[in-house]
Amino acid sequence: MQIRQVLAFSLALVLLASAGPVLAQRDNRPQQPAPADPDTVTLVRLVDAVAMGSQPAPMDIEVKWDTNHFVKGQAGVTYIPFTLSIDRTAMGTPSAALYIRVVDKNQPAPAAPPTAAAPPRYAWDNINFIQIPADGKVSRAIALQPGEYEAFIAVKERSAPVDPKAKPAPNAAAVPAGKVAVHRHSLSVPDFNADGLTTSSVILASGIEQVGQQLSPAEQEANPYVFGPMRIVPQLNSRFSKSQELNVVFWIYGAGAAANGKPDVLVEYNFHIRQPDGSEKYFNRTAPQELNAQTLPPEFSVAAGHQLPGSLAVGLTPFPVGDYRLEVKVTDRTNNKTVTQNVNFTVLPV
């Protein structure tokens, strides 16, 4: 089995104080490109009604939450890139308004209805105007404090721009036409700021690319899997062909420091294949990955909050077709603490 460790490339990230990009969000209602954009108003009011239980969630368009990952962000928040699957075939146009609202499940209800002077505040609240691709996959990101949340994902076919000087038709509908959908999804956001050894989500990717220049805020919003100089191409369904390469990327938090001030961490990767009867059989492993004073840049500092990357690239040609579990075991040799993560993937013939 050909193993290629990609630690050298991912070390470009370790001198960043945090791997999670900074995202812009609104404290209250989403920013509107026009004083009264009809699609924005429609989606905000629709989510209000669904959240309060005054109407069921419309499902003119099938919207699914495909996957998400948790990564330690800046200022104590958790950065959460995620991907939606939107049924493009159910839409008359690829142009859509996407409204994302996230509410804290433990936040008490307001004592009085919100007013224009005191609009509601949400854990996350934003709107995008996008083109839905043919495969329906749309990736974005949110940033949240640790806790329990419910996300409302509202999608609407984009209405034609409204001419503010035009007079409305005598019997014009109050709500702009277009198919709409609201999807609800619960999120349990981990706390990466607590003491103790832990890791981010383990991201399985079909590739890792270098980004030539820093992205603008708009570009970062549309490319949530760009971390500093590195673009991760996640394999969203975790299904790979034998001709592909399995890339593994994650970050390690809470490692202790040895006498030289550097961490001393060992990462082991063990592959298990699922048998026809549902049991598992050990398949293979890679050489352990060491993160210490000999392998890390001289500038690396635990005290400065630099993050340890774990990474691996494995050619899948030697893997028999089947379902696998990758066990990632991280050992902090400064205190003998360990943490284990497991991810599943499938190898297909082509």
Average pLDDT (64-93) is: 94
Domain count for the chain: 2
The span from the CA of 329 to the CA of 286, in Å, is 12
Question: Is the predicted pLDDT of residue 153 greater than 70, yes or no?
Answer: yes
Regarding whether 137 and 14 lie in a shared domain, the answer is no
Specify the range with the lowest mean pLDDT, choosing from 103-107, 127-131, 161-165: 161-165
Q: 288 exposed, middle or buried (CB, 10 Å; 0-12, 13-18, 19+)?
A: exposed
Read off the tokens for 19: 């791997």
**21 in Cβ contact with 81 (< 8 Å):** no
Cα separation, 110 vs 112, whole angstroms: 5
Same domain, 184 and 209: no
Largest CA distance in the chain: 79
pLDDT in tens, 108-120: 666 555 666 677 8
pLDDT at 35 (0 to 100): 46
3-class DSSP state for residue 89?
A: helix
* Residue matched to tokens 């369904």: 237
Nearest to 319 by CA among 342, 294, 293, 349: 349
In a domain, 26, yes or no: no
Q: 93 and 236 share a domain?
A: no
SS3 per residue for 260-281: CCCCCEEEEEEEEEECCCCCEE
**CA–CA separation, 205 vs 297, rounded Å?**
25
The whole-number pLDDT of residue 212 equals 80
pTM over 0.85: yes
154-160 mean pLDDT: 90
**Domain contains 28:** no
Residue 14 lies in a domain: yes
Q: What is the CATH number of the domain that holds 238?
A: 2.60.40.10
- 88 and 124 together in one domain: yes
| Rg, C-alpha atoms of the chain | 23
Neighbours of 105 (CB within 10 A): 12
Q: How much is the mean pLDDT over the chain?
A: 86
What mean pLDDT is predicted for residues 162-185? 68
Distance separating alpha carbons of residues 128 and 150, to the nearest angstrom: 19
Q: What is the pLDDT of residue 261?
A: 85
* End position of a domain, from candidates 135, 157, 189: 189
SS3 13: helix
**Considering only 29-43, 280-294, 303-317, which range has the smallest mean pLDDT?**
29-43
In the predicted structure, residue 346 carries a pLDDT above the cut 60: yes
pLDDT score for 217: 79
Q: Which of 33-42, 121-130, 261-270 has the lowest mean pLDDT?
A: 33-42
Cβ contacts of 244 within 8 Å, gap of 6 or more: 206, 316
- Copy the structure tokens of residue 78: 């958790």
Domain that holds residue 109: 38-189
Q: 338 and 209, same structural domain?
A: yes
* Phi, psi (degrees; rounded to nearest 5) at 270: -120, 130
Residue 27: per-residue pLDDT: 42
Q: Are residues 180 and 271 in the same domain?
A: no
In a domain, 27, yes or no: no
Token readout for 95 is: 């142009």
Per-residue pLDDT, 111: 56
- Contact by Cβ (8 Å): 128, 36: no
Instruction: Determine the average pLDDT of the residues in 326-340.
Output: 97
Statement to judge: residues 209 and 337 lie in one domain: yes
Any idea what the CATH number is for the domain that residue 102 is in? 2.60.40.150
The mean pLDDT of 141-154, rounded to a whole number, is 96
Residue 212, domain member (yes or no)? yes
3-state secondary structure (DSSP) of residue 49:
helix
| pLDDT value of residue 339 | 97
Q: What's the confidence (pLDDT) of residue 215?
A: 83
Domain end (from 145, 166, 189):
189
Within-domain flag for 32: no
Q: Closest Cα partner for 140 from 230, 47, 69, 88?
A: 69
Q: Are 82 and 178 contained in the same domain?
A: yes
| The pLDDT of residue 22 | 60
Name, of 108-117, 174-183, 306-315, the range with top average pLDDT.
Answer: 306-315
Per-residue pLDDT at 170 exceeds 60: no
For the chain, the residue count is: 350
- CA–CA separation, 180 and 99 (whole Å): 11
Separation of alpha carbons 199 and 13, rounded Å: 15
Q: Is the pLDDT of residue 305 over 80?
A: no
Whether 125 and 218 share a structural domain: no
Q: What pLDDT score does 174 carry?
A: 53
CB 232 within 8 A of CB 20: no
Out of 132, 167, 189, a domain closes at 189
Residues 269 and 130 in one domain: no
Indicate whether 235 belongs to any domain: yes
CA distance 321 to 313: 18
Q: What is the mean pLDDT of residues 254-266?
A: 91
Q: Is the pLDDT of residue 237 over 50?
A: yes
Rounded average pLDDT over 49-53: 94
